[in-house]
Amino acid sequence: MNDDIEKILYSKEDIQQVAKKLGQQITKDYVDKNPLVVCILKGAILFMSDIVREIDTYCELDFMSVSSYGNAQVSSGSVKIIKDLDVSVEGRNVLIIEDIIDTGRTLQTLVDLFEHRKANSVKICTLLDKKERRVEGVTPDYVGFEVPNEFVVGYGLDYLGHYRNLPYVGVLKPKIYSDN
């Protein structure tokens, strides 16, 4: 599996360091706000588990599964809710955890949805921000890294369901996706 990676962009250590820094900021911003920290499955699973360990105040966790890509390489443009939250966001301070913002469609849909459901506040924390590809006006509040427009996998990010379990973020060798 590691042989399919052209280069490592962010190592396990780079990610731990950035998670710690963001966790400290989030802690400061959310003391006494009892945030509802929402993991967007599946991509955000690894980042969620690392970031919440760096949040040093009371919070609750919930999980939502949405998909815009399915097995395609480019976004289909419509975001499908596969599993909704278990709890109500009404009156809550929602902090969305994402692995990557690409076109911004997923997050635009979710921010609109949570605002419609009367959340008190909605903020976004993303490991990666691929600004170049943005079509929606989504601006994250906490960003790990601004990532170039390359095909990145690992640390939650998949290609055809694989590579999510890599402990780092890397660029996939072009021969892997051009074979499909």
Which residues contact ligand PRP (rule: CB under 6 A)? Answer: 40, 42-43, 67-69, 75, 98-106, 158
At which residue do the structure tokens 């427009």 appear? 149
**What span, in angstroms and rounded, lies between the C-alpha atoms of 103 and 91?**
28
CB of 99: closest distance to ligand PRP in angstroms? Answer: 5
Catalytic residue status for 102:
yes
Residue numbers 38-97 binding Mn ion by CB under 5 A? 43
**153: β partners:** 170
Nearest alpha carbon to residue 47 among 124, 138, 133, 149: 124
- Pair 158, 172: CB distance under 8 Å: no
CB of 176: closest distance to Mg ion in angstroms? Answer: 15
Tokens found for residue 57: 């105040």
CB of 158: closest distance to Mn ion in angstroms? Answer: 9
Query: Which residue ranges make up the site for Mg ion (CB under 5 A)?
Result: 69, 158
Q: Write the CA distances from 105 to 13, 45, 68, 69, 77, integer angstroms.
A: 30, 19, 8, 11, 7
Name the catalytic one among 56, 102, 129, 158: 102
Nearer to ligand PRP, 32 or 180 (CB): 180
Nearer to Mn ion, 43 or 170 (CB): 43
At which residue do the structure tokens 């021969």 appear? 175
**What span, in angstroms and rounded, lies between the C-alpha atoms of 62 and 85?**
6
Nearer to Mn ion, 43 or 154 (CB): 43
Q: Which does 129 bind (CB under 5 to 8 A by kind): ligand PRP, Mn ion, Mg ion, none?
A: none
CB of 113: closest distance to ligand PRP in angstroms? Answer: 13
- Pair 157, 163: CB distance under 8 Å: yes
Please identify the residue of the shown chain whose CB is closest to the bound ligand PRP. 43
Nearer to ligand PRP, 93 or 129 (CB): 129
Active-site residue numbers?
102
What are the residues binding Mn ion (CB under 5 A)?
43
